[in-house]
Amino acid sequence: MSERWERLPKWARIVLLLLGALLLYLLPLIDPPYLSPSGSDFGAVLFNVAAYVLVALGLNVVVGYAGLLDLGYVGFYAIGAYTVGVLGSLHGHLPLLLLLPLAAVVTLVSGIILGAPTLRVRGDYLAIVTLGFGEIVRLTLINWGWVGQAAGISDVPRPPSLSLFDLPHLSWNGGIASIDLSNTTTFLKFGILDQTPYYWLALTVIFIVLFAERMLVHSRVGRAWEATREDEDAAELMGVPTFKFKLLAFAIGAFIGGLSGALFATRQAFINPESFPLLLSILFIAAVVVGGAGNRLGVIIGAIVVSYLPELFRPFADFRVLIFGGLLVLLANFRPQGLLPPKRTVRAKKLDEKFEELEEGTAHA
């Protein structure tokens, strides 16, 4: 599949990418009958999926590219959301267009503050420290009066609405679609009832992050991350300042996590510490592992699986979590490298298999 894609002319790839992006923007208006979970607002479901995708892209920089196990990523998500809540409602009234980059920068600084002392430890120790960070952030939010304590923050500002024009949705009768003029979405109107504009906003942010992340990974920085991930000691011997690049990955991951949290806060309009449980960190890391750490398309698919399947199983009520967990267990057993692992993982696996065949052949001889 990848080779076929690479063989296509550049103009054909660009056209296909643009058509795919257009389809993603139109998805809530098309509202496909077999994709849209019954009894759910499809626009809200898509926004939730987009928020997970954004988080997975940020966490992939830390886990997939730099090889750092971060189990407290929800802490950055919460800091981004609370920056918007505190400065936009509780202690200030800054406009959201200023709050979004401000939340990302505040989270980036918090990532540097956390990473500077903790990235000198490796492996399980780093996982334990980051796990504690996520819980410390949540407990601080519960007990600190300046950020609203357990009561949380209400009236989080929404994006400015322009209300340009109305776009009709499709109505499906079996497999036949028709335009439903009674069900419309007002373009760039960020209200309470219709979540589709929030999805479009999140999707636009994802495309910007994807572009920036791709540029970064294919630069000297990306090669330094790869060297650090594969063998940190060897990378240091070759002159790579591994600590600096690990800290950079941690800060960039925090930046994207904070941005996603800010989008979540503005969509919800109300946040409290219970919005950021430890379970979210586990789901975030599951999205990266399930999709294939180190592969941007893989982690996007992983985020869709982790966030969309529970909504699809909603008709099964309480059993949906059991079904979802069972599927993850099956996946971990039959596809431990993830749904779409990076090329280096596939190559390494094939190489290991060849070595085993050679060793068996030598033993039999």
- Residues 171-195: pLDDT tens digits? 888 778 888 888 888 888 888 888 9
Task: Return the DSSP state at 342.
Answer: -
Q: Is the confidence at residue 84, as pLDDT, over 90?
A: yes
The first and second tokens of residue 128, run together, are: 């334990």
CA atoms 66, 68, 71, 74: torsion sign? negative
Is residue 364 scored above 80 in pLDDT?
A: no
| pLDDT class of 316 with cuts at 50, 70, 90 | low
- For residues 169 and 172, give the distance between their C-alpha atoms in angstroms, rounded to a whole number: 10
Q: What are the residues facing 172 on neighbouring strands?
A: 177
Higher pLDDT, 192 or 59: 59
Q: Which amino acid is at 142?
A: I
Secondary structure letter of residue 159 according to DSSP: P
List the single range of 61-65, 119-123, 233-237 with lowest mean pLDDT: 119-123
- Is residue 315 pLDDT above 80, yes or no? no
Q: Which of 58, 86, 34, 5 is nearest to 272 (CA)?
A: 86
Look over the chain and give the mean of its residue pLDDT values, rounded to a whole number: 87
Report d(CA 331, CA 343) in Å as an integer. 19
Nearest to 217 by CA among 225, 209, 208, 229: 225
3-state secondary structure of 137: helix
pLDDT of 113 > 70? The answer is: yes
pLDDT-wise least confident of 36-50, 203-217, 307-321: 307-321
197 has a pLDDT exceeding 90:
yes
Q: Residue 60: pLDDT band by 50, 70, 90 thresholds? A: very high
What are all long-range contacts of 271-275, with beta carbons under 8 Å and residues at least 24 apart? 271/81, 271/82, 271/85, 271/152, 271/153, 271/156, 272/141, 272/148, 272/150, 272/151, 272/152, 272/153, 273/78, 273/138, 273/139, 273/141, 273/142, 273/150, 273/152, 274/150, 274/152, 275/78, 275/81, 275/152
Q: Band of the pLDDT at 58, cuts 50, 70, 90?
A: very high
pLDDT of residue 215: 92
Confidence of residue 26 (pLDDT cuts 50, 70, 90): very high
Q: pTM (2 decimals)?
A: 0.89
Helices 74-85 and 278-291 cross at an angle (nearest 10°) of 120
Q: What is the pLDDT of residue 355?
A: 76
E-strand spans in 187-264? none
Among 60-69, 226-235, 317-326, which is the least confidently predicted range? 317-326
Query: Nearest 5 degrees, angle CA 114-CA 286-CA 330?
Result: 155
Confidence of residue 1 (pLDDT cuts 50, 70, 90): low
Residues 57 and 61: their CA atoms lie apart, in Å, by 7
**With 70 as the cut, is the pLDDT of residue 284 above it?**
yes
Query: Which helix or strand (DSSP H or E) is residue 181 part of?
Result: strand 176-186
Lowest mean pLDDT among 124-138, 173-187, 215-229: 173-187
- Per-residue model confidence (pLDDT) at position 181: 85
Cβ distance 176 to 32 under 8 Å?
A: no
To which residue do tokens 């989080």 refer? 156
